[in-house]
Structure 1
């Protein structure tokens, strides 16, 4: 089993980051290089516990589908998505959130197994793990920009309200 562990610091409130990270539309924006689209299940807005989304995107020159279900959620602390159908032998992505001094710490813990025995392991070592890290970093960059911009808009509107 391969594990990817990423930590992202975001200057936005916990609730904002949590919601942005489970927003299907924002995920599609972050995954635009792979032309990833939600084609079934929840295809827009926020996904919740026990709901599914099926993604179709181009990876390694092939259009692939990946169906995930949100299997656990504790509002504003964590949620977990797990593959139900797709190209992996197993795929589990845990998303953790905590706020420290006004900064939200978002932690991704992605664990997966490849099929095809030694050939799958070799493919993972040579390129799959790097591809997934790059994919997650791009996703987290988009999440950070979105959450921080949304947070600035909220702050601006509160300042205007306080001035008036």
Structure 2
């Protein structure tokens, strides 16, 4: 498949997680967990906590021996079933990352699909196929395994504690939703 004259690459992976879909969804939006996976630091935009609709974050770090800046914005946010973030600025020509969450009997199937293309024509295609595609596939797998680990044990409370939503009831009693 071609995208504006560039080769379009796709990475798909999935994992079963023994946790509710909403927890997995929120963990997927957590900037700190993304930074751990990417091994890059959030430097601008929403740099901590969970991302919401339209939120933007800029990560900076090193990739393939070169400085790399990646600006991403949440382009679809359908809690707890679907999340998409798209690149606004990066070395990629195109970059869209979809996360789908399907809950079945208290467990969640997370399906990740990342589509990207690189500049530089035939050279970008060769670099993409030999170097970038395997590296991105490894990052997607690393992300899914980290989400599973955090969601299935008590670690998720460390990441979502600041995201606890309090709702005031008509009686004036405040209840915390988990």
- Using the size of structure 1 for normalisation, the TM-score is 0.87
Aligned to 1:157: none
From 112, 137, 146, the equivalent of 2:116 is 112
Partner residue in 1 for 2:30: 23
Unaligned runs of 5+ in 1: 154-164
**Are positions 1:142 and 2:149 aligned together?**
no
2:170 maps to which residue?
Answer: none
Residue matched to 2:107: 103
Q: CA deviation at 1:30?
A: 2.6
Instruction: Kindly state the Cα deviation for residue 151 of structure 1 after the two structures are TM-superposed.
Output: 8.1
- Distance, in Å, in 2 between the alignment partners of 1:88 and 1:41 is 20
Counterpart CA distance in 1 for 2:51 and 2:145 is 20
Aligned length: 150
Residue number among 108, 112, 137 corresponding to 1:133 in the alignment: 137
Any residues of structure 2 matched to 1:7-156 within 5 Å, and which?
7-32=14-39, 36-150=40-154
The one-character-per-residue Cα deviations of 1:95-114 (angstroms, maximum 9, x if unpaired) are 10011122100011111111
CA-atom RMSD, angstroms? 1.5
5+ residue gaps, structure 2: 1-7, 158-178
| CA–CA distance in structure 1, aligned partners of residues 22 and 15 of structure 2 | 15
Q: Which stretches of structure 1, 4 residues or longer, exceed 4 Å deviation after superposition? A: none
Q: State the secondary structure of the residue aligned to 2:140.
A: helix
**Alpha-carbon distance, 1:138 to partner:** 1.1
Q: CA deviation at 1:31?
A: 2.9
Instruction: Tell me which protein shows more strand as a share of its residues.
Output: 2
